[in-house]
Chain A
Amino acid sequence: MIVTENKDIAPELPEERVEGRFAGLIEEHQQRVYSMALRLTGNAAAADDITQETFIAAWKHIKGFRGDSSLKTWLLRIAANKVRSYWRWKKLRSWVGLARGEREEDAPALEDLLPDRPQDRPEAAALAADLERRVQAAINLLPPRQREVAVLRAQELSIAEIGAALGMAEGTVKAHWFAAKKKLTGSLGEYL
């Protein structure tokens, strides 16, 4: 089911139809939202939580969606705000000494990126897991704003859409993307 307009999905419908439309909204956008959350947190469990919270919040406030931006941009904006809250919470935890020396730049554990067990996977999948880890490490090296822009650009969003999703001017997005691209090409040059 493809859902593109908010007027089509306002939850003023019988329960089962509402559920069907909610499922359609998730199907259409979940990969984008999850990918963004995973790349920005480097943590599969956190990305799962953020994806879930994003869709629940979006569904709750769908009537308030004015259609100034696309539904895709609106959802990614919600997700980006939730990722920012996640980092603020992590920093607070680290500040009060609850975290075990976690830092934004820390490379995530492989099991955080891939929830299945590496030893159960064939060699080809293990290589893919290694690539995944390297890609994530390269993203983690970027400053937060460059990281956000790069991750959204990888979702094939235009500069204008990224600006709308992150609340940035297009010129700022371009500058961040230029810097991020240079760094990522440097880190992942062997795969390009």
Chain B
Amino acid sequence: MKEEEKEKELAALLAVRRPEDFWLRQKNAIISAASEKRAPARAWLLMPVAAAAALMLVFLARTPVRVPGPETLISTAFLDHLDLLDDMDVLEAVPENEL
């Protein structure tokens, strides 16, 4: 048997045979999968907008922790000091013999 014929027989043996409806079903499945893949691809374009919106929501939802600034701290100490001074004023206002 010639080498060429032998190769042809081997190729025929290795061939995959499927009925016509198998190929038709496969073709339809590929076309429908391709159109499904196109839809999320378009939705993907909205991803940056969605990410920005999510970040904004997280930022807004964060409960603000009120850390008193240095000015507030000084003011409180200052007021306490004033109260003390007030007491002292009272003491000073009381005549010495009434004490």
Spell out A's residues near B (CB within 8 Å): 19, 22-23, 26-27, 30-31, 34-35, 38-39, 48, 51-52, 55-56, 59, 128, 131, 135, 139, 150-151, 153-156, 181, 184-185, 188, 191-192
Contact = CB atoms under 8 A, between A and B. Distances in A.
Contacts of A131: 13
Given A55-B30, A56-B37, A181 B14 contact: no
Given A26-B31, A30-B26, A48-B26, 14 more contacts: A22-B34, A23-B27, A30-B30, A34-B18, A48-B29, A51-B26, A52-B33, A56-B37, A153-B11, A154-B14, A154-B15, A188-B10, A192-B10, A192-B13
B66 interface: no
28 contacts: A22-B34, A23-B27, A23-B31, A26-B27, A30-B27, A31-B18, A34-B16, A34-B26, A39-B14, A52-B30, A56-B37, A131-B13, A135-B13, A135-B14, A139-B14, A151-B14, A153-B7, A153-B11, A154-B10, A155-B11, A156-B11, A181-B10, A184-B10, A184-B14, A185-B10, A188-B10, A188-B13, A192-B13
Contacts of A51: 26, 30
A121 to B, nearest CB: 12
Contact of B23 (A22, A31, A38): A31
A26 B30 CA distance: 8
A150 B17 CA distance: 17
A116 to B, nearest CB: 9
B9 interface: yes
- Give 9 closest A-B pairs by Cβ, nearest first: A154-B14, A35-B16, A154-B11, A26-B27, A52-B30, A56-B34, A55-B30, A192-B9, A38-B16
B42 interface: no
A135 B15 CA distance: 9
Contacts of B35: 19
B7 to A, nearest CB: 7
B23 A56 contact: no
A38 B29 CA distance: 17
Interface in B37-94: 37
B4 to A, nearest CB: 12
Contacts of A150: 14
